[in-house]
Amino acid sequence: MDLIWDGIREAARLWWAGDREIIEITLRTLAISSAATAIALLIGIPTGAVLALRRFWGRGLIVAAVNTGMGMPPVVIGLLVALILWRTGPLGDLNLIYTPTAMVVAQFLLSLPLVVGFSLASIQSVNPRLIGQMWAMGANRMQVLWLLVRETRLGLLAAVMAGFGAAISEVGASMQVGGNLAGETRVLTTATVLETGRGNFEVAIALSLVLVVLAFLVNLVLTAVQQRRPVT
Amino acid sequence: MTSSPDAHLEIRDLVVQRGGVTVLEISSLDIPRGLVTVMIGPNGSGKSTLLGALQLVLHPSSGSLLLDGERMDSDPVGTRRRMAAAFQEPLLLSMSVQSNVELPLRLRGVNRQRRRELAEHWLQRFGIASLARRHARQLSGGEAQRVSLARAFASQPEVLLLDEPFAGVDAPTREGLLEDFAEIVSETKPTTVLVTHDRDEALRLGDHAALLIGGGLRQTGPPAEVFERPADRAVAEFVGMENVWPGQRSESGVYRAGGVRLASTSKSVALGAPATLCVRPERIVLSRDGDGSGNQLQATVRAVRPRGPVVRSNLTSGRLTLTADVPVATWDELRLSVGDEVTARISPADVHVIEDSD
């Protein structure tokens, strides 16, 4: 019990003192996970919309793959990205292994199925006749997509939360493709694993609390947007 | 095929299939400019399919749809922006009433000021200006349908496509909405295609009617003519000709059906030729004593069913079964009950004759 209390006290001290390393790691975590989530949203929402609205050969297979991807273990994604970006791998010449970019790629691949899956479910729940009315009002493809996003914003914000949650909380893939290099690819999850391994539980608890508070704050903002009473 | 000069929409050799089955087949139909064309027909007759094809949301297997002589599918978005649609469900988006009405204009790139002006005008016209800031989800069914119609008119469409927009609202609300709609349509004169099941609505709003049965066009013409002068037996049954009797011509202007002699001023068929005789139930007048004019049939009341403003009574005369709708006040005066003998009077002008083809 003392260990936990000591950890919480140390966490409070580090926060209070504005520990530079913790701030850096926190900002890096936020930047990598936000970038991965943003790319997943850009690609995932239109993909979810197409899967929801169109019937084509192989659609069932893609939806099954998306559903499988929603529960994909991060270490499998990490291994896949590591193999591709490894020095001797197909994209080894890009020298991306053990860089923040590689971590963005891995986290993007983890978030993408969640964003596609949530978007697909949200958009599929829209009354098909309402979509017909959007076309009848003279909307073009992009405008229909915009109206669908607007109409399903509650579900899509759940997609954002799920995608960001998956990205910021994963550790295996980040370790595999980022390498947990100090000052370069160390993020809150990998740093927590490292400090736990070293027996520095106070620091590990401090990092974990930062991670939890960060995830909570981001979700608090998204929830506030989601639950806000629409005016226009 | 030449188009009539006032045809705004032209439907030519249209075939729509679903799962390999033909659900709509129309060789030629013109929708006149600036008039209300009512599409009537039973469920599954293809009315809504036709409307879907005109909105370019259903893709025909073959044929062409022309707007002002140009193929509509050559520029689907451009074509849809010349039209507007409203359905039985109001289909409003999750936004305020004002934003809903402005939306088609916003999609067309109309500036904010103009959007606001037009939306305010149409909200005013449909009597819902006070609801402008309310969220669409907070409206009653009647209010939502008014918003839906205001939205359709706000984009100032050349063509208005309406799929039973008055069917989902309660009777008193519907009455007011129909009145406002009729007034607005007669002022603005968009080319309107109105799908409806309702005879009163068709007669009140329609300038022209097209009747579909089983995916095919069976009759076109003024609505009163379609309802009073059906082209064939299937049409007669659909338009509520409750009295449809097989008969044959016995002499000039006189027919026999079920052992009863009936005079008709309808078109003539060859002597002895089989024909179908049709009489609308509200055209049969019952009385305790005949007054000597028109066809006078001695009949017995067999069954009675109150139906709102009328009493529907089933009678027999000879081998004929008659259905008559008697206004409640008249019924109360006659004090009729099952088993009573009455005189059923039918004017020869109300006996419509259909020449049997086989």
Q: Identify whether the C-beta of residue B174 lies closer than 8 Å to the C-beta of residue B166.
A: yes
Residues in chain B closer than 8 A to A151 (CB atoms): 93-94
Per-residue pLDDT tens digits for B129-149: 999 999 999 999 899 999 999
Give B111's pLDDT tier (boundaries 50, 70, 90): very high
Chain B residues with CB-CB distance to A under 8 A?
52, 55-57, 77, 80-81, 83-85, 87, 89, 91, 93-96, 98-99, 103-104, 107-108, 135, 151, 155, 161
pLDDT at B3 over 70: no
Is B237 within a domain?
Answer: no
Q: Identify whether the C-beta of residue A134 lies closer than 8 Å to the C-beta of residue B91.
A: no
How confident is the model at residue B2, as a pLDDT?
Answer: 44
Q: Which residues contact B203 (CB under 8 A, 6 or more apart)?
A: B223, B224, B227
Is B1 within a domain?
Answer: no
Mutation site for A-interface testing, chosen from B56, B103, B115, B145 by largest number of A Cβ within 10 Å: B103
Q: Which fold has domain A2-227?
A: MetI-like fold (1.10.3720)
Region B64-87: what's the mean pLDDT? 94
* Residue B336 domain boundaries: 243-355
A140 to chain B: closest CA residue: B77
Region B75-94: what's the mean pLDDT? 95
Asked if B11 and B129 sit in the same domain, the reply is yes
How confident is the model at residue B19, as a pLDDT?
Answer: 87
Give B24's pLDDT tier (boundaries 50, 70, 90): very high
Give B253's pLDDT tier (boundaries 50, 70, 90): confident
Asked if B17 and B125 sit in the same domain, the reply is yes
Residue B18 distance to chain A (closest CA, Å): 15
CATH number for position B195: 3.40.50.300
How confident is the model at residue B358, as a pLDDT?
Answer: 55
Per-residue pLDDT tens digits for A160-202: 989 999 999 988 899 898 888 888 999 999 999 998 999 888 8
* CA gap B223, B201 in Å, rounded: 10
Mutation site for B-interface testing, chosen from A137, A227, A228 by largest number of B Cβ within 10 Å: A137
Between residues B68 and B294, which one has the greater pLDDT?
B68
Is B235 within a domain?
Answer: no
Asked if B215 and B132 sit in the same domain, the reply is yes
Give B92's pLDDT tier (boundaries 50, 70, 90): very high
Region B269-287: what's the mean pLDDT? 88
Asked if B223 and B250 sit in the same domain, the reply is no
Counted domains in chain B: 2
A154 to chain B: closest CA residue: B94
Of the given ranges (A110-114, A149-153, A225-229), which has the lowest mean pLDDT?
A: A225-229
pLDDT at B64 over 70: yes
How confident is the model at residue B4, as a pLDDT?
Answer: 59
Asked if B252 and B114 sit in the same domain, the reply is no
pLDDT at A126 over 50: yes
Of the given ranges (A112-116, B240-244, B354-358), which has the lowest mean pLDDT?
A: B354-358
Of the given ranges (A203-212, B14-23, B151-160), which has the lowest mean pLDDT?
A: A203-212
Q: A179: alpha, beta or left, given left = phi > 0 and alpha = psi -120 to 50?
A: left
Asked if B291 and B321 sit in the same domain, the reply is yes
* CA gap B164, B201 in Å, rounded: 10
Q: Is the dihedral of CA A156, A157, A161, A163 positive or negative?
A: positive
pLDDT above 90 as % of chain A: 55
Residues in chain A closer than 8 A to B107 (CB atoms): 137-140, 143
Q: Count how many Cα atoms sit within 13 Å of the Cα of residue B349 in the half-sphere of its side chain.
A: 2
CATH number for position B340: 2.40.50.100
Angle at B93 between CA B92 and CA B97, to 5 degrees: 70
pLDDT at B331 over 50: yes
Q: Where are the domains of chain A?
A: 2-227
Region B331-345: what's the mean pLDDT? 90
Cα torsion B24, B26, B27, B31 to 10°: value is: -150
A–B CB contacts, 8 A cutoff, strictly below: 61
Give A229's pLDDT tier (boundaries 50, 70, 90): low
Residues in chain B closer than 8 A to A143 (CB atoms): 107
Phi, psi of B280 (to 5 degrees): -70, 145
How confident is the model at residue A231, as a pLDDT?
Answer: 47
Q: Identify whether the C-beta of residue B47 lies closer than 8 Å to the C-beta of residue B154.
A: no
A147 to chain B: closest CA residue: B93
Asked if B42 and B86 sit in the same domain, the reply is yes
How confident is the model at residue A103, as a pLDDT?
Answer: 95
pLDDT at B1 over 50: no
Asked if B110 and B148 sit in the same domain, the reply is yes
Asked if B118 and B261 sit in the same domain, the reply is no
Region B146-163: what's the mean pLDDT? 95
Asked if B327 and B269 sit in the same domain, the reply is yes
Give B272's pLDDT tier (boundaries 50, 70, 90): confident
Q: Could A230 and B57 be called an inter-chain contact, meaning their C-beta atoms sit closer than 8 Å?
A: no
How confident is the model at residue A232, as a pLDDT?
Answer: 47
Of the given ranges (A103-112, B78-87, B264-273, B332-341), which has the lowest mean pLDDT?
A: B264-273
* CA gap A78, A171 in Å, rounded: 9
Region B144-161: what's the mean pLDDT? 95
pLDDT at B162 over 90: yes
Chain B contact for A129 (CB, 8 A cutoff) = yes
B174, B197, B228: which is the final residue of a domain?
B228
Residue B104 distance to chain A (closest CA, Å): 5
* CA gap B75, B356 in Å, rounded: 45
Of the given ranges (A20-29, B261-270, B343-352), which has the lowest mean pLDDT?
A: B261-270
pLDDT at A138 over 60: yes
Q: Could A136 and B83 be called an inter-chain contact, meaning their C-beta atoms sit closer than 8 Å?
A: yes
Of the given ranges (A12-21, B141-150, B206-215, B348-357), which has the lowest mean pLDDT?
A: A12-21
pLDDT above 70 as % of chain A: 97
